């Protein structure tokens, strides 16, 4: 029997679940807090195989129309020499490209922008979401796909709190057209790394702001991981220009100028020239706080937590988007298998998704420890390869 489903959060996890559940005959409504078109935070997303299958299968999008491709994993030393260059293909996109494709597939008729959920309740027959304006939506199934600061998780699992990992990621993008030809040639076809003492940086090309895919028209994206112990300096860094203490990221254009100036100086001192040029030329670098928020459950009767609402952690394995897609697709599969018995489907769905999330979390925690604190990452080490289930898997 088709179900009514309310999904809170209209980003990657929410729209993936929405498209899949609707294709099974469910009546799906998506409620998204943002009232306007959402702007990318500006960073790249590396596509894991399950996301590629979803893109090119269900969404019918040829991969080469929505992603850039890198062919090598290339490590530089401090002087800019290539010290490891292994062949490995990755397809990379941007959050906005991914989101646009998902939203175009789902359509706008059942996508309610500007709807902020504030609470949820349930009994044995239905679950009810309450919104900021006092309106409610009742459904057979409620899915919270509302990201790292999830209201669903706060209501259902208030004991789950973020834990700061001791380092931040400086992130940003620069137009490839602004790079010198030496730097562009060095970086254009690779996932590029520099691993220094208690720090590392990753750089790779992503589509341009309007989806441009040709070399020279794309964006070069970077994440530079730097250790900042909790304390006054950290607090000052994550307090934005308007004096607001940020809990997840300090967005582009909102990082205090003194820190932007300093990161550019540090880049020239600490990084090889190919990497420092990208950091220095990035007009508005921004900060992602590296932290772990790990829910101990994802299924609560008729209510599910998926994607970053359940597990939000560090990006070292480039797989949290893949985890979000996996949560949504697996949930749909279990609903179909259980002939749309919601509580049975959620109970059967939860263990494997919890295990995927915990394994991924353990892995990124170890990658973070080895790269930022133990200095045991040798250039080219395959255990650092991206992957949802393990290195390159
Ligand atoms: C605007 C935006 C840009 C991003 N850019 C990047 C990027 O460039 N690189 C990268 O690696 N990752 C990016 N991410 C994060 C990445 O998409 C996620 O980590 C991952 O894909 C898992 O997605 P998710 O759908 O679980 O969570 P998210 O993508 O965080 O989505 C959560 C959604 O829920 C909405 N929401 C939150 N609270 C409520 C509420 N109370 N009521 C209704 N809706 C609510 C949010 O507005 C958001 O759309 C971005 C996320 C967003 C929202």
CA of 284 to the centre of ligand 1 (A): 20
- Mean pLDDT over 64-89 rounds to 95
From atom 37 of ligand 1, which residue's Cα is the shortest distance away? 146
CA of 381 to the centre of ligand 1 (A): 31
- Mean pLDDT over 266-291 rounds to 98
How high is the pLDDT of residue 357? Answer: 97
How high is the pLDDT of residue 97? Answer: 85
| Token representation of residue 246 | 């940020």
Say if ligand 1 is within 6 A of residue 145 CB: yes
**141 pLDDT exceeds 90?**
yes
Q: Of the CATH numbers 3.90.110.10, 3.30.9.60, 3.40.50.300, 3.90.730.10, which one belongs to the domain with range 63-94+164-291? A: 3.30.9.60
Domain coordinates in residue numbering, the chain: 4-40+96-161+293-373, 63-94+164-291
Instruction: Give the range among 92-101, 176-185, 195-204 with minimum mean pLDDT.
Output: 92-101
Most distant CA pair in the chain, distance: 65
Q: What is the pTM of this model?
A: 0.95
Q: What percentage of the chain exceeds 90 in pLDDT? A: 90
Say if ligand 1 is within 6 A of residue 318 CB: no
How high is the pLDDT of residue 258? Answer: 98
Say if ligand 1 is within 6 A of residue 147 CB: yes
8 Å CB contact between 232 and 114: no
Strands (E), 20-140: 27-32, 44-47, 68-76, 82-94, 111-113, 117-122, 127-131, 136-139
Q: What is the mean pLDDT of the chain?
A: 95
* Architecture per CATH, 4-40+96-161+293-373: 3-Layer(bba) Sandwich (3.50)
pLDDT greater at residue 101 or residue 116: 116
Q: What percentage of the chain exceeds 70 in pLDDT? A: 99
**Distance separating alpha carbons of residues 270 and 144, to the nearest angstrom:** 41
8 Å CB contact between 14 and 30: yes
How high is the pLDDT of residue 78? Answer: 98
**4 pLDDT exceeds 90?**
yes
How high is the pLDDT of residue 38? Answer: 74
């Amino acid at each position: 029997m088709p179900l009514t489903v309310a999904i809170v959060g209209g980003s990657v996890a929410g729209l993936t679940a929405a498209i899949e559940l609707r294709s099974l005959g469910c009546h799906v409504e998506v409620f998204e807090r943002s009232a306007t078109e959402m702007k990318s935070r500006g960073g790249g997303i590396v596509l894991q195989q399950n996301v590629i299958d979803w893109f090119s299968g269900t969404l019918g999008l040829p991969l080469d129309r929505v992603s850039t491709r890198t062919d090598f994993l290339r490590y530089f030393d401090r002087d800019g020499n290539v010290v490891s260059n292994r062949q490995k293909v990755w397809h990379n996109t941007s959050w906005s490209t991914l989101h646009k494709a998902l939203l175009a597939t789902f359509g706008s008729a059942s996508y309610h922008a500007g709807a902020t959920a504030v609470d949820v309740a349930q009994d044995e027959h239905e679950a009810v979401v309450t919104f900021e304006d006092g309106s409610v939506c009742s459904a057979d199934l409620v899915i919270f796909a509302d990201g790292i600061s999830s209201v669903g998780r706060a209501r259902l699992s208030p004991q789950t709190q973020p834990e700061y990992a001791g380092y931040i990621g400086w992130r940003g993008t620069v137009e490839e057209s602004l790079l010198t030809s030496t730097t562009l040639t060095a970086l254009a076809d690779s996932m590029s790394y520099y691993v220094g003492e208690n720090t590392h940086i990753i750089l790779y090309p992503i589509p341009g702001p309007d989806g441009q895919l040709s070399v020279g028209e794309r964006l070069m994206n970077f994440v530079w991981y730097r250790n900042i112990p909790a304390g006054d300096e950290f607090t000052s860094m994550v307090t934005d220009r308007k004096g607001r203490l940020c809990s997840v990221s300090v967005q582009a254009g909102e990082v205090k100028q003194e820190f932007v100036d300093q990161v550019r100086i540090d880049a020239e001192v600490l990084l090889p020239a190919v990497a420092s040029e990208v950091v220095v030329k990035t007009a508005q670098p921004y900060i992602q706080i590296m932290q772990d928020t790990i829910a101990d459950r994802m299924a609560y009767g008729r209510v599910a937590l998926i994607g970053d609402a359940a597990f939000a952690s560090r990006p070292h394995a480039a797989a949290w988007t893949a985890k979000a897609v996996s949560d949504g697709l697996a949930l749909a599969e279990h609903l179909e298998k259980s002939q749309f018995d919601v509580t049975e489907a959620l109970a059967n769905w939860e263990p494997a998704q919890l295990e995927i999330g915990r394994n991924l979390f353990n892995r990124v925690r170890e990658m973070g420890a080895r790269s930022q604190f133990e200095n045991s990452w040798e250039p080219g080490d395959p255990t650092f390869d991206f992957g949802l289930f393990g290195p390159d898997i």
